[in-house]
Amino acid sequence: MMELLWLLLPVAAASGWWAAKRSDARQDVTLAERTPGYFSGLNYLLNEQPDKAIDVFIKMLEVDSDTVETHLALGNLFRRRGEVDRAIRIHQNLIARPTLNREQRAQALLELGQDYMKAGLLDRAESLFTELGEMNMFQSQALGNLLTIYQEEKDWDKCLQIAKRLEQLTNRSLRKECAHFYCELAEEAQFRKDLNKASQLLKKAQIADEGCVRATILQGEIEVLNGANKNALRTFRQVERQDPSYLSEVLPAIIDCHMALGQRAELIKYLHQLHQKHHTVSCVLALTGFIQKDEDDAAAIQFLANFLHEHPNLAGLDRMVELSLKSGKGDAQESLGILQQILQKLMEKRPAYQCLSCGFTAKTLHWHCPSCKTWGSIKPLQEVDEN
């Protein structure tokens, strides 16, 4: 309550000042006679009736060219505090005044639209931002908010339309965002079993952003569904060039394609190349499996131990304990079993992905960060040695 009191006291003071300034009464009239509403509003505040206090102060603060900014500031304060209903009331009251000029009305519409967005009233917000676009007022802000709304509504066609208009208006590149919008449409087409349409959309995504890993992965998956393992293999391998941090996402598919094509030796050679270049845990674990089959458990353990000595990693340690359990006996085997249980609990608690923009962590891959709403910023936590 005291926080709200301190918020509204400056508005009350301004209200009293403006009322006194515009009064035609004599100079010796007391403040209470000039501005009775001032004390009425304070009384409502002290009695914890903030809504009535707001009504009083709004009525006292006549809307004209000198006080519009005060109304806007008060509404913004309430919206930032999360008191959206009060912000809406203030901005609606402002728009209803006939004294506003065109620019002031447009600014009030923009603020009210943002109030509606905050309240989750997306249809109302969309209507106001569209009206601003028709007025040719505050277009970049209105389009930016419309883009946010259409992303929330998953209307990817409209997202593409708005993004292209924003690019023309602001000269800001939204190629990465557009690529993901095409990917979203491609996933919808793939869900409908329309693989040709999905491929066409993914080509547009790659034209928009040739570095879009998501488009590459989706295209490879479609080629696998079509039985074109050779093409899929070529597509999945492009991920290394685009962004090696996503190798763990495509490595199982790369292994499957090689094996389906009868290219086991080529696969092992390729895994060694990846290991030498990137030192990714996923490559090491895959190689460990082949060494175990081609040689023995001891060779696999030694290979893992050499890697872990330079690149400590929970997943690698868990695999080494698993291999060691086979040869362990008595108390040693029991201790290794306990160690493996502890390692698995530690890995269960550990996130697998993190947003490079805001630090958000997750167990599954999100192409659109749920926290900061950035596209393509979440990556696997690989513990890759970059040296």
Query: Is 159 a known ligand-binding residue?
Result: no
DSSP 353: E
Alpha helix (H) ranges present in the chain? 2-21, 31-34, 36-46, 50-60, 68-80, 84-95, 102-119, 122-135, 139-152, 156-170, 175-191, 195-208, 213-225, 229-242, 247-260, 264-278, 281-294, 297-310, 314-327, 330-349
Q: Does the annotation place 358 within a ligand binding site?
A: yes
Which residue do the tokens 């060494």 mark?
291
Pairwise CA distance, residues 28 & 31, whole Å: 9
> How many CA atoms are closer than 13 Å to the CA of 87, on its beta-carbon side?
24
Q: What is the rounded CA–CA span in Å between residue 297 and residue 327?
A: 9
- What token pair was written down for 258? 């090689």
Q: Is 355 annotated as a binding residue?
A: yes
What are the backbone dihedrals phi and psi of residue 355, each rounded to the nearest 5 degrees, phi first? -80, 125
- Phi, psi (5° rounding) for residue 379? -130, 160
The two tokens of residue 90 are 């203030």
- H-run or E-run covering 246: none
**Which residues belong to the annotated binding site?**
355, 358, 369, 372
**Which residues belong to the annotated binding site for Fe cation?**
355, 358, 369, 372
